[in-house]
Amino acid sequence: MDTVKDLRKKFIAGETTPLEVITSALKIIKEKNGEINAFLHVYEEALKEAEEATKMYQEKGVDTPALLGIPVALKNNILLKGKKATGASKILENYTAVYDATIVKRLKEAGAIFIGATNMDEFAMGGSTENSAFGPTKNPVDTSRVPGGSSGGSAAAVAMGAVPVAIGTDTGGSIRQPASYCGLVGYKPTYGAVSRYGLMAMGSSLDQAGPLTNSVADAELVHQIISGQDEMDATTISATTYPKIPLKEKYTFGVPKRFLSEGVEPDVLEAFEKHVAELKSAGHEVIDIELPLFEKGLAAYYIVMPAEVSSNLARYDGIRYGLSVEGESLLDVYEKSRAEGFGQEVKRRILLGTHVLSSGYYDAYYGKAEIARKKMREELAETFKKVDFILTPTAPTPAFKLGEKAEPLSMYRQDIFTVPVNLTGVPALTFPMGTVERDGIRLPVGVQYIGPHGGDARLFDIGKSVYDKR
Amino acid sequence: MWQDKVQSGMLGLMKKEDIEQLATLARIRLTEQEKANFEGDLSSIMEYVSTVSDIVSDDVKTNPEIGVVHNVFRQDEVTNAPDQYTRDVLAEMPATDGRYMKVKKILQIED
């Protein structure tokens, strides 16, 4: 599939039209979605919008909004007014969004055409999209494997060639890990760069929305459109919140060598080392670094995240919206609705969060985890005095088989390199660094570039020069 | 208390009664099967997350801080038009009576 930038050029030159592109996108979905299950909902009215966009290009050419006529898929935990927003949960199976998320509003203003809503792990909890209440998504590269998660439907939608860009959300790696498994570019912005208004809250101090694309330039374009301060989200940052991060000709990369020895499969490590060698031969400097606290991030994450989950998901009570199960009393309605509406992983994390926040345990867990985050941020700040980027594989393995990781902790460990990024709020970019062979099939694996707070532009700069110009 | 559990190495261990108590607090009715599953799952997860003590020892006395701390103010004025969302929001409610949401009785008053 063409990139967003290519499509835009062709639309302006009249080589193709939004109508042709949307028609073909709907055809691809019709052919492939039965097997892949990337889309939970498909919006046929996209055709009508495509007709209007086609006319606008004929009339105004280049003087049209930047994403006019571009098909975009939206993870189903993002509100699009008048459309079902399920979070891939039974508890919201019939819920219709009553307003647009800020990012949706901005994409609409830029002319994007929403073609459908993508599958995900229920309420974005999981790393394989197997936790969806509406069946798992399969990896288009190898359909016996998962696409990653939780934004697995968004990744599969791009990988199967239906759309050039899909929007995902990332609380602990949910954009980057599926991008790695499906051979895509994925971006998790600096915390606060993108408004969370109209996103179903999972871990409010961790959640950010971002694009999955085929090129870094596309990711940058979409990020620029959806980011920016928003009065509806008090945690959004301005251009001056963090010191300006300058672009450079040559960069210094830090590789946390010891961290990589933990559970990274040998051929993934090999692909990573090859990538590092390429950076060196391109004239960049690569040095070894130690991140002893960053390495332990996963433990702190599985305290902070469930704690926030248990609070955020208290709103699904069978009273104001969503599934409601008849009961004897108000309490009965709550307990039955939540029992029937939530899947196993969601219940597990709510219980976990309730436990770490309960009286007597708060100091041992939540309090400590928050102090750990502070110390991790300090460690990063020191590290970014010496290096411009920190480099890791995005995930320790390529995409795994459906059903392979039934034990919760083994699934959680896939996020070892991505969760410290959310805990500290820094931005990170992933793109493919090569492939590894499993059962005779070449599977993509991604590399993760981590930048300092506010270093979004610098990440796109290096990504474009390393990946887009390959 | 948790300090005792830490010393006895029992911090991660969850019992069935613990799961039941958490389920009550979280307002989720669990099946017996779920209780048994979560007892095992939560024990192993809690044991794992207890390694957070490797980053922060018990005697660390510092205040956590979350992200960039800044106040955000706006004028206290209504920004929505009257009834702008009312109909749509009411339509999502499981039980309504006119413009009211219906809920079960909360207080049981004895005669």
A363 contacts B56? CB cut-off 8 A: no
Chain B residues touching A332 at Cβ < 8 A = 104
Instruction: For residue B61, give how far its alpha carbon lies from the nearest alpha carbon of chain A (Å).
Output: 9
> In this structure, what token pair is assigned to residue A161?
């060639």
A302 contacts B55? CB cut-off 8 A: no
- Using alpha carbons, list the distances in angstroms from residue A290 to A126, A295, A382: 29, 9, 11
Nearest CB neighbour to B22, from listed A302, A322, A351: A351
Chain B residues touching A376 at Cβ < 8 A = 55
Whole-model pTM over 0.80? yes
Residue A211 lies in a domain: yes
Q: Which residues of A are identified as catalytic?
A: 75, 150, 174
A324 contacts B22? CB cut-off 8 A: no
Nearest CB neighbour to A373, from listed B3, B44, B64: B64
The interface residues of chain A toward chain B in range 93-112, judged by CB-CB distance below 8 A, are 95-96, 98-99
Chain A residues touching B14 at Cβ < 8 A = 355
A354 contacts B104? CB cut-off 8 A: no
A354 contacts B26? CB cut-off 8 A: yes
> Could you report the per-residue pLDDT of A19-77, keeping only the tens digit for each?
999 999 999 999 999 999 999 999 999 999 999 999 999 999 999 999 999 999 999 99
Chain B residues touching A191 at Cβ < 8 A = 67
A232 touches chain B (CB under 8 A): no
* Residue extents of the structural domains in chain B: 2-54
> Could you report the per-residue pLDDT of A67-121, keeping only the tens digit for each?
999 999 999 999 999 999 999 999 999 999 999 999 999 999 999 999 999 999 9
Chain B residues touching A237 at Cβ < 8 A = 68
Q: Is A192 left (phi over 0), alpha (psi -120 to 50) or beta?
A: left
What is the predicted ipTM?
A: 0.92
Mean pLDDT within B88-105: 93
Residue A71 lies in a domain: yes
Q: How many domains does chain A have?
A: 1
> Could you report the per-residue pLDDT of A295-335, keeping only the tens digit for each?
889 999 999 999 999 999 999 999 999 999 999 999 999 99
The domain of A70 spans: 4-226
Residue A145 lies in a domain: yes
Probe site for chain B from A355, A363, A412 (most B CB atoms < 10 A): A355
Q: Residue A160 maps to which CATH number?
A: 3.90.1300.10
> Could you report the per-residue pLDDT of B21-36, keeping only the tens digit for each?
999 999 999 999 999 9
Residue A108 lies in a domain: yes
Task: Give helix A344-357 / helix B16-25 axis angle, nearest 10°.
Answer: 90
DSSP string, A331-397: HHHHHHHHHHHS-HHHHHHHHHHHHHHSTTTTIIIIIHHHHHHHHHHHHHHHHHHH-SEEEEESSSS
Residue A59 lies in a domain: yes
A296 contacts B54? CB cut-off 8 A: yes
CATH number for the region B2-54 comes to 1.10.20
B28 contacts A338? CB cut-off 8 A: yes
Question: How many Cβ atoms from other residues are within 10 Å of residue A56's Cβ?
Answer: 18
Nearest CB neighbour to B53, from listed A318, A350, A368: A368
Contact (Cβ atoms closer than 8 angstroms) between residue A424 and residue A440: no
Q: Which of A138, A120, A130 is nearest to A40 (CA)?
A: A120
